[in-house]
Amino acid sequence: MSAESKPPDRDYLVPEAEVELRVKALEALVVEKGLVSTDALDRISAHYEDEVGPRDGARVIARAWVDPAFKERLLADATAACEELGIKGLRGEHLRAVEDTPEVHNVVVCTLCSCYPWAVLGLPPSWYKSPEYRAKVVLEPRRTLADDFGFPVPEEVTVRVWDSNSELRYFVIPQHPEGTEHMSEAELAELVTREAMIGVGPVTAT
């Protein structure tokens, strides 16, 4: 199942054009007053648009699948293990990787705001930050995964929800899919989706 690429349809109080205008006004003032510079703003957005993203996390997962010693280090100290692969940074200072097994499926949320392991997965997608996801997945994780993501978890498998309410940042190590023994680490990384590392989607050997 895949989701259509369309923005959520909601009734917002303020027209977007008015929000846009106010952001532009704020930008003018913080630049005028010397609080920030234009090039600094550009560099910050470029970092998250061009440099970090879920491909980084996928590299970590693929390495964990092919290298049991790395997986052990990842489970023991995800921050240090990710740094071995050159992955570190803001909102990645204290990482924890949680492992899916035949007995336990993990799913990550931040019910209070939108905490997410930026350094490993990039900025969170809109749905992760949405009131809908934050409200539902702690109360009805099975129904949310099945109905909203088309990803039912078998009833004999425990569902463990990680509510990221501190400075710890969580991501999921999905199970190594069967039938991929012939694949290289780089090929395996291609299979790992952002959804799988949040715990709302499968990894399938295609």
Partner 1 sequence: MNTPHDIGGMHGLGAVPWQTDEPVFHADWERTIFSIMLALAGQGRFNADHFRSAREKVPAHRYLTSRYYELWLQAVERLVADVVAPDEIERWAEQLRQDPDVPVPRALDADLADALERGLREGLSTAGPVPHPRRYAVGDPVRTRNVHPPGHTRLPRYARDKEGVVDALYPAFPLPDRADDGDYRPEYLYCVRFAAEELWGDSAEPGCEVQLDMWESYLRPVDDPPSVTLRQEESR
Q: Which residues are catalytic?
A: 110, 113-115
When the beta carbons of 45 and 206 are compared against partner 1, the nearer one is: 45
- What part of residues 12-31 is at the interface with partner 1 (CB under 8 A)? 12-14, 16, 19-31
When the beta carbons of 37 and 184 are compared against partner 1, the nearer one is: 37
Q: Which stretch binds partner 1 (CB under 8 A): 55-63, 66-74, 119-127, 178-186?
A: 119-127
Q: Report the nearest approach of partner 1 to the CB of residue 84 (Å).
A: 16
Q: Report the nearest approach of partner 1 to the CB of residue 47 (Å).
A: 5
Q: Which of 59, 22, 44 is nearest to 123 (CA)?
A: 44
Is 108 within 8 Å of 172 (Cβ atoms)? yes
What number of chain residues touch partner 1 (CB under 8 A)? 97
When the beta carbons of 23 and 67 are compared against partner 1, the nearer one is: 23
The two three-digit tokens of residue 199, written as one number: 């715990």
Q: Report the nearest approach of partner 1 to the CB of residue 186 (Å).
A: 21
- What part of residues 149-178 is at the interface with partner 1 (CB under 8 A)? 149, 155-168
Contact with partner 1 (CB under 8 A) among 147, 185, 187, 190: 147
When the beta carbons of 146 and 185 are compared against partner 1, the nearer one is: 146
169: CB partners within 8 A, 6+ apart: 91, 92, 94, 95, 96, 115, 116, 117, 118, 119, 120
d(CA 79, CA 87): 9
Contact with partner 1 (CB under 8 A) among 60, 63, 74, 122: 122
One-letter amino acid of 202: P
- Contact between 54 and partner 1 (CB under 8 A)? no
Q: Report the nearest approach of partner 1 to the CB of residue 101 (Å).
A: 14
142: CB partners within 8 A, 6+ apart: 152, 153, 155, 159
H or E stretch covering 198 = helix 194-198
- What part of residues 64-103 is at the interface with partner 1 (CB under 8 A)? 88-94
Q: What are the contacts of 202-206 at 24+ separation with CB within 8 A?
A: 202/151, 202/174, 203/174, 203/175, 203/177, 204/177, 205/177, 205/178, 205/179, 205/180
